[in-house]
Amino acid sequence: MNGRGTGTRPQRVPLPMWVRPMLASGDGFPQDAAAWAYELKWDGVRASAYIQDGRLLRLLSRTGRDITVTYPELRGLGPAAHAGQLVLDGEIAAFEQGRPSFEALQDRIHVSSAAQADRLAARHPVAFMAFDLLHLDGLPTLEIPYQVRRELLDGLALSGRWWQTPPAFTGLTGAELLEVASQQSLEGVVAKRLDSPYQPGARSPDWRKVKRQLHQEAVVGGVNPGKGARAGLVGSLLMGVQTPAGLAYAGRVGTGFSDSSLRHIGQRLAPLRRSASPFATEVPAEHARGAIWIEPEVVIEVEFAGWTREGRMRAASYRGLRTDKDPADVFREP
């Protein structure tokens, strides 16, 4: 990590307050497989860990929100790192029967009370899956190639009950690893170009995600009130995705909710009522009839069967809230 072509030692800099996470595109697997590494997707929420002198200073979400108090079991990551300064990029995942479960994470991601977080950590612990290294002992690593960053990360030997460095695979194709992901019921695969720098805040084709199932983030723009057994609760959510012309209507979702998720999302949306539709495109009359319009500030994730010609999701099923996602960044996945 010497200065490029000068033989001089690079200047050390303070630990950054926040590095905006680099994002993956949906461009599909590359053709030149040998120039890429492949990682498994962990079906959790993005987070970056900031460590100094053996202490976890802060854990930040994809949007820069401080979530340190939410995951007290990850405080031990600081002393486990054995480095003066570190910024780690990774994913927080919850596991059921040894497999990551986004649904199992839902009880954890909304918590801001330290006492409640401690209780939930004892019952439903999470793990931090580190996959990139952005700063090491006073030296930013953003400009060095992904392959070198991974070697430095692997050299930290982060392995514990609540944190791991999952492997990056080379010498195989993305399709081969996606088959492994399918066999293990994992979410999918991310391909990363070996010679690529880390590009803060960019959605870059140097990182490419391929999901095993169709998942989509969506912005909630309205609610159809529940009836019968769901009276007083959410019946279905009216969803949208961002376009250059504004929030485009993308269908509704009324299945996949647990009793607790129905109550929680109803409470979350109640103060966001507005008088008019937030959608820039037409909402079908049967969906708009009796709808309660909502300020487009809440992001959810759904699983679905495919897109219709009208740009709506078929057979959508609710998976959970995405408090780590900015509504302005929610676009239709390729």
Q: How far is CA 93 from CA 61, 110, 129, 191, 317, in A?
A: 13, 14, 7, 19, 20
Residue among 21, 20, 24 at smallest CA distance from 187: 24
Instruction: Please list the alpha-helical segments (H only) found in 190-330.
Output: 259-269, 285-288
Amino acid found at 40: L
The CA-based dihedral angle spanning residues 191, 196, 202, 206, taken in that order and rounded to the nearest 10 degrees: -30
Angle at 303 between CA 299 and CA 305, to 5 degrees: 135
41 is catalytic: yes
Q: How far is CA 232 from CA 50, 235, 260, 265, 269, in A?
A: 43, 9, 14, 12, 13
- What is the spatial distance between Cα 215 and Cα 253, in angstroms, rounded to a whole number? 13
- Please answer whether residues 191 and 210 qualify as being in contact, where contact means their C-beta atoms are separated by less than 8 angstroms: yes
3-state SS assignment for residue 125: coil
- What is the spatial distance between Cα 210 and Cα 30, in angstroms, rounded to a whole number? 11
Q: Is 171 left (phi over 0), alpha (psi -120 to 50) or beta?
A: left
β-bridge partners, 133:
88
Place of tokens 């009208």: 310
Angle, to 10 degrees, between the axis of helix 102-109 and the axis of helix 114-123? 160
From 41, 209, 211, 325, the catalytic residue: 41
Token pair belonging to 270: 């109640």
Q: Give catalytic residue positions.
A: 41
